[in-house]
Structure 1
Amino acid sequence: MSKKKEHKEEAQQEKQTEATAEEVTEDSQEVAQEKKDSQLEGLQKELESKQSAYMRLAAEYDNYRKRTTSEKASIYGDATAKAVNEILPVADSLEMALKSAENAPDEYKKGLELVCGQLLSALKKLNVEPFGEIGDEFNPELHNAVSKIDSEDLGENTLSMIFQKGYKTGDKIIRHAMVQVANCD
Protein backbone atom coordinates (compact mmCIF):
# COMPACT_ATOMS: atom_id res chain seq x y z
CA MET A 1 0.00 0.00 0.00
CA SER A 2 2.75 2.30 0.51
CA LYS A 3 3.57 2.13 -3.16
CA LYS A 4 0.01 3.12 -3.92
CA LYS A 5 0.27 5.98 -1.49
CA GLU A 6 3.53 7.05 -3.00
CA HIS A 7 2.06 6.80 -6.41
CA LYS A 8 -0.95 8.88 -5.32
CA GLU A 9 1.31 11.44 -3.73
CA GLU A 10 3.43 11.58 -6.84
CA ALA A 11 0.29 11.99 -8.94
CA GLN A 12 -0.90 14.79 -6.68
CA GLN A 13 2.48 16.46 -6.82
CA GLU A 14 2.45 16.18 -10.58
CA LYS A 15 -1.03 17.71 -10.68
CA GLN A 16 0.11 20.51 -8.39
CA THR A 17 3.24 20.99 -10.46
CA GLU A 18 1.17 21.05 -13.64
CA ALA A 19 -1.31 23.46 -12.03
CA THR A 20 1.54 25.64 -10.83
CA ALA A 21 3.16 25.42 -14.27
CA GLU A 22 -0.16 26.35 -15.90
CA GLU A 23 -0.55 29.29 -13.51
CA VAL A 24 3.01 30.40 -14.20
CA THR A 25 2.42 29.96 -17.94
CA GLU A 26 -0.86 31.90 -17.75
CA ASP A 27 0.80 34.62 -15.67
CA SER A 28 3.72 34.85 -18.06
CA GLN A 29 1.31 34.90 -21.02
CA GLU A 30 -0.68 37.70 -19.37
CA VAL A 31 2.52 39.63 -18.69
CA ALA A 32 3.68 39.04 -22.27
CA GLN A 33 0.26 40.13 -23.61
CA GLU A 34 0.29 43.26 -21.43
CA LYS A 35 3.79 44.04 -22.67
CA LYS A 36 2.68 43.57 -26.29
CA ASP A 37 -0.41 45.71 -25.67
CA SER A 38 1.66 48.52 -24.15
CA GLN A 39 4.15 48.30 -27.05
CA LEU A 40 1.28 48.38 -29.54
CA GLU A 41 -0.27 51.36 -27.76
CA GLY A 42 3.08 53.16 -27.79
CA LEU A 43 3.56 52.45 -31.49
CA GLN A 44 0.03 53.65 -32.25
CA LYS A 45 0.66 56.90 -30.38
CA GLU A 46 3.94 57.35 -32.24
CA LEU A 47 2.17 56.68 -35.56
CA GLU A 48 -0.53 59.24 -34.72
CA SER A 49 2.16 61.75 -33.79
CA LYS A 50 4.02 61.15 -37.07
CA GLN A 51 0.80 61.38 -39.09
CA SER A 52 -0.11 64.63 -37.35
CA ALA A 53 3.35 66.06 -38.02
CA TYR A 54 3.09 64.97 -41.66
CA MET A 55 -0.32 66.62 -42.05
CA ARG A 56 0.97 69.87 -40.50
CA LEU A 57 3.99 69.81 -42.79
CA ALA A 58 1.81 69.15 -45.86
CA ALA A 59 -0.53 72.02 -44.90
CA GLU A 60 2.44 74.31 -44.27
CA TYR A 61 3.89 73.45 -47.69
CA ASP A 62 0.53 74.06 -49.38
CA ASN A 63 0.25 77.46 -47.68
CA TYR A 64 3.82 78.28 -48.72
CA ARG A 65 3.07 77.33 -52.33
CA LYS A 66 -0.10 79.46 -52.39
CA ARG A 67 1.66 82.39 -50.74
CA THR A 68 4.59 82.34 -53.18
CA THR A 69 2.22 82.07 -56.15
CA SER A 70 0.29 85.06 -54.83
CA GLU A 71 3.50 87.01 -54.18
CA LYS A 72 4.76 86.26 -57.70
CA ALA A 73 1.50 87.50 -59.21
CA SER A 74 1.65 90.63 -57.06
CA ILE A 75 5.27 91.33 -58.01
CA TYR A 76 4.46 90.80 -61.69
CA GLY A 77 1.47 93.16 -61.41
CA ASP A 78 3.54 95.82 -59.64
CA ALA A 79 6.35 95.55 -62.19
CA THR A 80 3.88 95.76 -65.08
CA ALA A 81 2.18 98.78 -63.53
CA LYS A 82 5.50 100.53 -62.98
CA ALA A 83 6.67 99.90 -66.56
CA VAL A 84 3.32 100.91 -68.06
CA ASN A 85 3.26 104.06 -65.94
CA GLU A 86 6.49 105.13 -67.66
CA ILE A 87 4.95 104.51 -71.11
CA LEU A 88 1.67 106.35 -70.47
CA PRO A 89 3.04 109.86 -71.26
CA VAL A 90 3.99 108.52 -74.70
CA ALA A 91 0.44 107.20 -75.15
CA ASP A 92 -0.96 110.59 -74.10
CA SER A 93 1.31 112.38 -76.59
CA LEU A 94 0.24 110.05 -79.40
CA GLU A 95 -3.44 110.63 -78.57
CA MET A 96 -2.93 114.41 -78.59
CA ALA A 97 -1.06 114.15 -81.90
CA LEU A 98 -3.92 112.09 -83.34
CA LYS A 99 -6.51 114.66 -82.18
CA SER A 100 -4.51 117.53 -83.64
CA ALA A 101 -4.01 115.65 -86.93
CA GLU A 102 -7.65 116.03 -88.01
CA ASN A 103 -6.65 118.54 -90.71
CA ALA A 104 -3.44 116.69 -91.60
CA PRO A 105 -3.03 114.52 -94.71
CA ASP A 106 -4.70 111.10 -94.54
CA GLU A 107 -1.41 109.18 -94.66
CA TYR A 108 -0.12 111.05 -91.62
CA LYS A 109 -3.38 110.46 -89.75
CA LYS A 110 -3.45 106.74 -90.67
CA GLY A 111 0.15 106.36 -89.50
CA LEU A 112 -0.70 107.89 -86.12
CA GLU A 113 -3.79 105.68 -85.83
CA LEU A 114 -1.67 102.59 -86.53
CA VAL A 115 0.93 103.56 -83.91
CA CYS A 116 -1.80 104.28 -81.33
CA GLY A 117 -3.45 100.95 -82.17
CA GLN A 118 -0.16 99.08 -81.74
CA LEU A 119 0.45 100.73 -78.38
CA LEU A 120 -3.07 99.88 -77.16
CA SER A 121 -2.62 96.31 -78.45
CA ALA A 122 0.66 95.98 -76.54
CA LEU A 123 -1.00 97.32 -73.38
CA LYS A 124 -3.89 94.90 -73.84
CA LYS A 125 -1.43 91.97 -74.01
CA LEU A 126 -0.19 93.11 -70.58
CA ASN A 127 -3.83 93.12 -69.34
CA VAL A 128 -3.80 96.92 -69.16
CA GLU A 129 -7.08 98.59 -70.07
CA PRO A 130 -7.84 102.28 -70.56
CA PHE A 131 -10.94 103.70 -68.90
CA GLY A 132 -12.74 107.02 -68.68
CA GLU A 133 -15.01 107.88 -71.59
CA ILE A 134 -17.38 110.81 -71.97
CA GLY A 135 -20.80 109.76 -70.71
CA ASP A 136 -19.49 107.31 -68.11
CA GLU A 137 -20.69 107.73 -64.54
CA PHE A 138 -18.21 109.41 -62.20
CA ASN A 139 -16.52 106.95 -59.84
CA PRO A 140 -14.12 108.51 -57.30
CA GLU A 141 -12.17 105.23 -57.13
CA LEU A 142 -11.38 105.48 -60.86
CA HIS A 143 -11.65 109.16 -61.72
CA ASN A 144 -9.96 112.31 -60.47
CA ALA A 145 -12.40 115.21 -60.94
CA VAL A 146 -10.44 118.37 -61.76
CA SER A 147 -13.45 120.52 -62.68
CA LYS A 148 -17.22 120.48 -62.85
CA ILE A 149 -19.87 122.04 -65.05
CA ASP A 150 -23.63 122.33 -64.94
CA SER A 151 -25.21 120.77 -67.99
CA GLU A 152 -28.78 119.83 -68.75
CA ASP A 153 -27.69 117.58 -71.62
CA LEU A 154 -25.74 115.19 -69.39
CA GLY A 155 -27.01 113.28 -66.38
CA GLU A 156 -25.99 113.69 -62.75
CA ASN A 157 -22.34 112.82 -62.01
CA THR A 158 -21.55 112.12 -65.66
CA LEU A 159 -18.13 112.57 -67.23
CA SER A 160 -18.33 115.53 -69.62
CA MET A 161 -14.66 115.82 -70.63
CA ILE A 162 -11.60 113.59 -70.37
CA PHE A 163 -8.33 115.43 -69.82
CA GLN A 164 -6.26 112.29 -69.34
CA LYS A 165 -7.35 108.65 -69.71
CA GLY A 166 -7.01 106.31 -66.78
CA TYR A 167 -5.43 102.87 -66.99
CA LYS A 168 -5.83 99.76 -64.88
CA THR A 169 -4.64 96.17 -64.82
CA GLY A 170 -7.22 93.86 -63.30
CA ASP A 171 -8.46 95.64 -60.18
CA LYS A 172 -5.27 97.66 -59.73
CA ILE A 173 -5.41 101.28 -60.87
CA ILE A 174 -2.23 102.34 -62.65
CA ARG A 175 -3.37 105.92 -63.22
CA HIS A 176 -6.67 107.63 -62.38
CA ALA A 177 -8.48 109.38 -65.21
CA MET A 178 -8.46 113.18 -64.97
CA VAL A 179 -12.00 114.27 -65.82
CA GLN A 180 -14.58 117.02 -65.81
CA VAL A 181 -17.87 116.08 -64.15
CA ALA A 182 -21.28 117.38 -65.14
CA ASN A 183 -23.89 118.37 -62.56
CA CYS A 184 -21.68 117.44 -59.64
CA ASP A 185 -23.09 118.32 -56.21
Structure 2
Amino acid sequence: MNKEENKIQDEELQNNTVEVQDENALDAETDAMISRITELEAALEASEEKVKEQQDSVLRARADVENMRRRTEQEIDKARKFALERFANELLPVIDNMERAVEMADKQDEAIKPMLEGIELTLQTMKSSVEKFGLKELNPHGEPFNPEFHQAMSIQESAEHAPNTVMLVMQKGYELNGRVVRPAMVMVSKAASGNVDEQA
Protein backbone atom coordinates (compact mmCIF):
# COMPACT_ATOMS: atom_id res chain seq x y z
CA MET A 1 0.00 0.00 0.00
CA ASN A 2 2.85 2.23 0.56
CA LYS A 3 3.85 2.14 -3.02
CA GLU A 4 0.37 2.86 -4.08
CA GLU A 5 0.09 5.74 -1.65
CA ASN A 6 3.38 7.10 -2.93
CA LYS A 7 2.18 6.74 -6.45
CA ILE A 8 -1.06 8.58 -5.63
CA GLN A 9 0.87 11.28 -3.84
CA ASP A 10 3.24 11.62 -6.80
CA GLU A 11 0.29 11.91 -9.14
CA GLU A 12 -1.36 14.46 -6.89
CA LEU A 13 1.89 16.36 -6.71
CA GLN A 14 2.23 16.28 -10.45
CA ASN A 15 -1.36 17.40 -10.84
CA ASN A 16 -0.77 20.20 -8.35
CA THR A 17 2.39 21.19 -10.20
CA VAL A 18 0.51 21.18 -13.52
CA GLU A 19 -2.30 23.19 -11.93
CA VAL A 20 0.19 25.68 -10.50
CA GLN A 21 1.90 25.91 -13.86
CA ASP A 22 -1.51 26.35 -15.52
CA GLU A 23 -2.43 29.00 -12.96
CA ASN A 24 0.90 30.75 -13.50
CA ALA A 25 0.40 30.61 -17.27
CA LEU A 26 -3.14 31.91 -16.79
CA ASP A 27 -1.88 34.68 -14.51
CA ALA A 28 0.76 35.59 -17.08
CA GLU A 29 -1.87 35.63 -19.85
CA THR A 30 -4.22 37.64 -17.66
CA ASP A 31 -1.46 40.11 -16.85
CA ALA A 32 -0.61 40.40 -20.55
CA MET A 33 -4.28 40.91 -21.41
CA ILE A 34 -4.71 43.52 -18.65
CA SER A 35 -1.58 45.27 -19.88
CA ARG A 36 -2.86 45.18 -23.46
CA ILE A 37 -6.31 46.46 -22.38
CA THR A 38 -4.62 49.30 -20.47
CA GLU A 39 -2.58 50.17 -23.55
CA LEU A 40 -5.70 50.07 -25.76
CA GLU A 41 -7.67 52.22 -23.27
CA ALA A 42 -4.83 54.78 -23.24
CA ALA A 43 -4.71 54.77 -27.05
CA LEU A 44 -8.51 55.14 -27.20
CA GLU A 45 -8.39 58.02 -24.72
CA ALA A 46 -5.65 59.72 -26.77
CA SER A 47 -7.68 59.22 -29.95
CA GLU A 48 -10.80 60.65 -28.31
CA GLU A 49 -8.76 63.64 -27.13
CA LYS A 50 -7.48 64.18 -30.70
CA VAL A 51 -11.03 63.96 -32.05
CA LYS A 52 -12.19 66.55 -29.49
CA GLU A 53 -9.29 68.85 -30.43
CA GLN A 54 -10.12 68.46 -34.12
CA GLN A 55 -13.80 69.13 -33.47
CA ASP A 56 -12.83 72.27 -31.54
CA SER A 57 -10.56 73.30 -34.41
CA VAL A 58 -13.36 72.78 -36.91
CA LEU A 59 -15.79 74.80 -34.77
CA ARG A 60 -13.25 77.61 -34.38
CA ALA A 61 -12.54 77.59 -38.11
CA ARG A 62 -16.28 77.75 -38.86
CA ALA A 63 -16.71 80.64 -36.42
CA ASP A 64 -13.74 82.46 -37.98
CA VAL A 65 -15.16 81.98 -41.47
CA GLU A 66 -18.60 83.16 -40.31
CA ASN A 67 -17.09 86.24 -38.63
CA MET A 68 -15.03 87.01 -41.72
CA ARG A 69 -18.09 86.63 -43.96
CA ARG A 70 -20.13 88.92 -41.71
CA ARG A 71 -17.35 91.56 -41.57
CA THR A 72 -16.92 91.40 -45.33
CA GLU A 73 -20.66 91.85 -45.87
CA GLN A 74 -20.66 94.85 -43.52
CA GLU A 75 -17.67 96.40 -45.27
CA ILE A 76 -19.25 95.85 -48.69
CA ASP A 77 -22.51 97.36 -47.42
CA LYS A 78 -20.65 100.40 -46.04
CA ALA A 79 -18.68 100.75 -49.26
CA ARG A 80 -21.91 100.68 -51.28
CA LYS A 81 -23.63 103.21 -49.04
CA PHE A 82 -20.79 105.67 -48.81
CA ALA A 83 -18.99 105.25 -52.11
CA LEU A 84 -20.65 108.45 -53.27
CA GLU A 85 -19.65 110.46 -50.19
CA ARG A 86 -16.59 112.12 -51.75
CA PHE A 87 -18.48 112.77 -54.97
CA ALA A 88 -21.40 114.22 -52.99
CA ASN A 89 -19.07 116.51 -51.04
CA GLU A 90 -17.70 117.84 -54.32
CA LEU A 91 -21.20 118.27 -55.74
CA LEU A 92 -22.70 120.17 -52.78
CA PRO A 93 -21.01 123.52 -53.55
CA VAL A 94 -22.40 123.31 -57.10
CA ILE A 95 -25.93 122.79 -55.74
CA ASP A 96 -25.38 125.69 -53.26
CA ASN A 97 -24.22 128.02 -56.04
CA MET A 98 -27.16 127.12 -58.28
CA GLU A 99 -29.58 127.78 -55.39
CA ARG A 100 -27.91 131.16 -54.73
CA ALA A 101 -28.16 132.03 -58.43
CA VAL A 102 -31.91 131.28 -58.39
CA GLU A 103 -32.40 133.28 -55.15
CA MET A 104 -30.40 136.32 -56.34
CA ALA A 105 -31.80 136.49 -59.86
CA ASP A 106 -34.21 139.27 -60.74
CA LYS A 107 -37.35 137.25 -61.37
CA GLN A 108 -39.09 140.29 -62.91
CA ASP A 109 -36.50 140.72 -65.69
CA GLU A 110 -38.01 139.10 -68.80
CA ALA A 111 -34.59 138.87 -70.49
CA ILE A 112 -33.20 136.39 -67.95
CA LYS A 113 -36.40 134.42 -67.27
CA PRO A 114 -35.54 131.62 -69.76
CA MET A 115 -32.04 131.31 -68.30
CA LEU A 116 -33.47 131.28 -64.73
CA GLU A 117 -35.95 128.56 -65.71
CA GLY A 118 -33.07 126.53 -67.15
CA ILE A 119 -31.06 126.90 -63.94
CA GLU A 120 -34.10 125.91 -61.83
CA LEU A 121 -34.76 122.88 -64.03
CA THR A 122 -31.09 121.84 -63.87
CA LEU A 123 -31.09 122.30 -60.08
CA GLN A 124 -34.24 120.18 -59.67
CA THR A 125 -32.82 117.47 -61.93
CA MET A 126 -29.56 117.42 -59.98
CA LYS A 127 -31.37 117.27 -56.62
CA SER A 128 -33.65 114.43 -57.72
CA SER A 129 -30.66 112.53 -59.15
CA VAL A 130 -28.65 112.70 -55.92
CA GLU A 131 -31.74 111.82 -53.85
CA LYS A 132 -31.97 108.52 -55.75
CA PHE A 133 -28.55 107.63 -54.35
CA GLY A 134 -29.48 108.49 -50.73
CA LEU A 135 -28.36 112.13 -50.48
CA LYS A 136 -30.97 114.00 -48.45
CA GLU A 137 -31.22 117.73 -47.75
CA LEU A 138 -31.25 119.00 -44.14
CA ASN A 139 -33.18 122.28 -43.95
CA PRO A 140 -34.05 122.56 -40.23
CA HIS A 141 -35.71 126.01 -40.16
CA GLY A 142 -38.05 126.18 -37.12
CA GLU A 143 -36.88 122.83 -35.72
CA PRO A 144 -35.16 122.35 -32.34
CA PHE A 145 -31.36 122.59 -32.55
CA ASN A 146 -29.70 119.16 -32.82
CA PRO A 147 -25.87 119.17 -32.67
CA GLU A 148 -25.75 115.84 -34.56
CA PHE A 149 -27.26 117.48 -37.66
CA HIS A 150 -26.72 121.22 -37.14
CA GLN A 151 -23.73 123.48 -36.61
CA ALA A 152 -24.60 126.64 -34.62
CA MET A 153 -22.90 129.64 -36.25
CA SER A 154 -24.48 132.15 -33.86
CA ILE A 155 -26.99 132.43 -31.04
CA GLN A 156 -29.43 135.31 -30.88
CA GLU A 157 -32.09 136.41 -28.45
CA SER A 158 -35.59 136.02 -29.81
CA ALA A 159 -39.03 136.61 -28.35
CA GLU A 160 -40.65 135.05 -31.44
CA HIS A 161 -38.90 131.65 -31.23
CA ALA A 162 -38.69 129.14 -28.41
CA PRO A 163 -35.20 128.87 -26.89
CA ASN A 164 -32.82 126.51 -28.71
CA THR A 165 -34.76 126.67 -32.00
CA VAL A 166 -33.22 127.10 -35.45
CA MET A 167 -34.16 130.67 -36.50
CA LEU A 168 -32.22 130.88 -39.73
CA VAL A 169 -30.47 128.37 -42.00
CA MET A 170 -27.31 129.93 -43.42
CA GLN A 171 -26.34 126.82 -45.37
CA LYS A 172 -28.36 123.64 -45.82
CA GLY A 173 -26.90 120.42 -44.57
CA TYR A 174 -26.94 117.00 -46.22
CA GLU A 175 -26.92 113.40 -45.12
CA LEU A 176 -26.05 110.32 -47.17
CA ASN A 177 -27.94 107.15 -46.21
CA GLY A 178 -28.48 108.44 -42.67
CA ARG A 179 -24.91 109.69 -42.18
CA VAL A 180 -24.30 113.45 -42.04
CA VAL A 181 -21.89 114.53 -44.79
CA ARG A 182 -22.35 118.23 -44.05
CA PRO A 183 -24.20 119.68 -41.03
CA ALA A 184 -26.60 122.56 -41.61
CA MET A 185 -25.09 125.90 -40.57
CA VAL A 186 -27.72 127.65 -38.47
CA MET A 187 -28.55 130.55 -36.19
CA VAL A 188 -30.09 129.40 -32.92
CA SER A 189 -32.48 131.32 -30.68
CA LYS A 190 -32.14 131.90 -26.98
CA ALA A 191 -34.61 133.44 -24.56
CA ALA A 192 -34.78 137.24 -24.60
CA SER A 193 -33.01 138.66 -21.59
CA GLY A 194 -36.16 140.46 -20.38
CA ASN A 195 -38.07 137.14 -20.35
CA VAL A 196 -35.60 135.23 -18.19
CA ASP A 197 -36.31 135.01 -14.48
CA GLU A 198 -32.78 135.41 -13.16
CA GLN A 199 -33.80 134.87 -9.53
CA ALA A 200 -35.24 131.42 -10.15
Which TM bucket (shorter chain)? 0.7 to 0.9
SS in structure 2 of the partner of residue 182 of structure 1: strand
Unaligned ranges ≥5, structure 1: none
* Superposition deviation, residue 77 in structure 1: 4.8
1:164 matched to 2:171:
yes
After superposition, residues 60-139 of structure 1 pair within 5 angstroms as 60-100=64-104, 102-103=107-108, 111-139=118-146
Counterpart-to-counterpart distance in 2, 1:184 and 1:69:
49
- Percent identity, aligned pairs only, is 26
Q: How many correspondences in the alignment? A: 185
Q: For 1:103 and 1:20, how far apart are their aligned partners in 2? A: 127
Q: Secondary structure at the match of 1:149?
A: strand
Could you tell me the TM-score, scaled by structure 1's length? 0.80
SS in 2 for 1:162: strand
TM-score, scaled to structure 2: 0.75
Gaps of 5+ in 2: 193-200
Query: Could you report, residue by residue, the CA deviation over 1:70-126 in whole angstroms, capped at 9, with x for unpaired residues?
Result: 344444455421110000011112322343465477876665454333323322232
Shift of 1:32: 0.9
The reply on whether 1:56 has 2:74 as its aligned counterpart is no
Does the Cα contact within 8 Å between 1:148 and 1:184 map onto a contact in 2? no
- Contact kept? 2:137, 2:174, Cα under 8 Å: yes
SS in 1 for 2:84: helix
Q: Which has the larger radius of gyration?
A: 2
- Deviation digits for residues 134-157 of structure 1, max 9, x if unmatched? 101112232222234333222212
Aligned position for 1:147: 154
For the residue of structure 2 that corresponds to 1:137, the secondary structure is: coil
Confirm or deny: 8 A CA contact 2:168 2:186 kept in the other structure. Answer: yes
